[in-house]
Chains A and B, each alone.
Chain A
């Protein structure tokens, strides 16, 4: 078993107080980094092989290297807009280890020569915002944040910016639009944020978990970190486990673990008397995996090879009571609600998707509409500025592919055969049908 290794959350309780964090070795890596060259920080991160923990999995060191060195101002933006359904790990990191994030932010800012850092935290995370605000104040008082950090001559300005409720702002160019005070709509790339990001200046956008890992990477050394995990997926990752399991929660595992170790070993498996129907392995935008794929490894490549994506590291377990049409409806309603309306295939396609799936669930669909649904998904895929439309098309198409008979039964029988026991039923059918 390789599952007993934790880096970011290797302690009980929390280290919200700066004293607890410093006693555990906190802020020493920042102190060391400031005494050296900025390039050394980026070299260590690059050497660790860590890939972005937000969802796209792009190598962090390489992303940082794209920023032109001679253009100022430059900015670091922290993506704390965690909102992919099923994902709640950045929240736990901010609640339990906020100073690791702050140390990572200042260290990385120094590494890229940023003039300011902005932490964009989703508006709903009010408690987390307050924890970060308190932690930042402590860090300012101790001289880790502010003008002339620890007498190094480096000025670290950090602004904590609250979002106001929009999933799309987790997409990095939408985040920048939102931070600039606009509607949170994605921009076309190129130019990439590294060249023209916040206020058209060179900008690095990194996820909370990625940045909070930086102090630990520097402590271990990039090479030592790179020894954990697989050839292309390095280190540990905090996985959010939810849905129908006995012990849902966040579990930090090395990227050599399997879905079985996470779901059965840590999560305790299915609640008594139930069997597994499907696994969502990377947030609700990921295509489903089937129970016989539970031995798939949880690294980026293995999940992709199994036909899905590791995404945000959110694993949602679906039990045998669940109606897959209702699941498809709930997932597609979400993406329709969050579609910003900029690109036609997403704006129109998410609405069409919801309309068709709703007709199927309510028994109003005609024969042939399943193929129409797949056609709509196909026309969204790859045709938009950002992946939000794909985030509906990919999972919905996978549900239809794996459970076509179940969708067809709804059409043939003129309604949902599972209203009595599907846990999602109560959202769509009269309460009488729900326990």
Chain B
């Protein structure tokens, strides 16, 4: 709903926020180890940097491979096993290789009430995979996720951590086609 629509309703002032343009990707090209040292310096205790360090490593390697855990362990001073135990607790850490586009469909209550099942099924049809799977060409990983906090604007879907809300089933084919086209040049 556009803010202007909301204003026309007596007493109603729901004004959906406008989303900011994404910030440009970091241009910090220093080694992962050095960037993790900067993060460690932010905290009174070094262990607090483990989660941010895992995120940096995931961005660097695409997923948290053995190599990624070793890098985080070396840079933070903890063991790879400890880093793994932390990473496995949190949903956003990828412990297996993921497609170029990670598509997450929220299926929690509010989204489910307004069509999340249809959106999820539409992705299954378009991509030929089920939640938890990656397409053979390595382009897409499909996941269902728990509440994304977009409940009034559902069904909510994220593509590589960027929200699309709402994304009803009928808009899924167009989105998938656009993602495929974007991937084409260096596919």
Contacts and interface: CB of A to CB of B under 8 A. Distances in A.
Interface string A40-77: 00000000000000000000000000000000010000
A211 B108 CA distance: 28
B177 interface: no
Given A96-B17, A122-B149, A425-B117, A242 B110 contact: yes
Given A126-B162, A166-B89, A316-B151, A243 B116 contact: no
B67 interface: no
Contacts of B153: 88, 248-249
A256 to B, nearest CB: 14
A174 to B, nearest CB: 10
Interface string B36-50: 000000111111111
A: contact size bracket? 35 or more
A1 B11 contact: yes
B68 to A, nearest CB: 14
B113 A434 contact: no
A13 interface: yes
B20 A199 contact: no
A79 to B, nearest CB: 13
A127 B22 contact: yes
B91 A164 contact: yes
B157 to A, nearest CB: 12
Nearest to B92: A165
A250 interface: yes
B14 A251 contact: yes
A141 to B, nearest CB: 17
A342 B174 CA distance: 44
19 contacts: A84-B147, A90-B149, A91-B150, A116-B44, A123-B90, A123-B92, A133-B23, A161-B48, A167-B146, A181-B46, A183-B89, A199-B44, A241-B14, A243-B110, A248-B110, A330-B109, A426-B121, A427-B107, A435-B118
B75 to A, nearest CB: 13
A265 B12 contact: yes
Interface string A396-432: 0000000000000000000000000001111100010
A165 B145 CA distance: 10
Interface in B105-145: 107-110, 112-118, 120-121
A184 interface: yes
A205 B20 CA distance: 28
B47 A266 contact: no
A249 to B, nearest CB: 3
Interface string B46-72: 111111101100000000000000000
Interface residues of B, number: 63
A11 B165 CA distance: 23
A337 interface: yes
Interface string B149-183: 11111100010011100000000000000000000
A100 B14 CA distance: 19
A248 B152 contact: yes
B81 interface: no
Interface of A: 1, 3-4, 6, 9, 12-14, 16, 73, 82-88, 90-92, 95-96, 116, 122-127, 130-131, 133-134, 159, 161-167, 178-184, 199, 240-244, 247-252, 265-266, 268, 280, 284, 314, 316, 318-319, 322, 327, 330-331, 334, 337-338, 340, 423-427, 431, 434-435
Interface of B: 1, 3, 6-7, 9, 11-20, 22-23, 42-52, 54-55, 85-86, 89-93, 107-110, 112-118, 120-121, 146-154, 158, 161-163
Contact of B151 (A164, A166, A248): A248
Contacts of A268: 9, 12
B20 A127 contact: yes
Contacts of B12: 247, 251, 265-266, 268
A59 B73 CA distance: 41
B51 A164 contact: yes
Contacts of A123: 55, 90, 92
Given A14-B17, A86-B109, A88-B152, 8 more contacts: A83-B149, A164-B54, A181-B46, A265-B12, A330-B107, A330-B109, A340-B89, A424-B112
A242 B17 CA distance: 16
A130 B22 contact: yes
Closest 7 CB pairs of A and B: A426-B117, A165-B91, A249-B14, A181-B47, A164-B90, A248-B152, A165-B92
A189 B14 CA distance: 39
A3 B87 CA distance: 45
Given A87-B151, A124-B148, A124-B161, A426 B118 contact: yes
Contacts of B46: 181
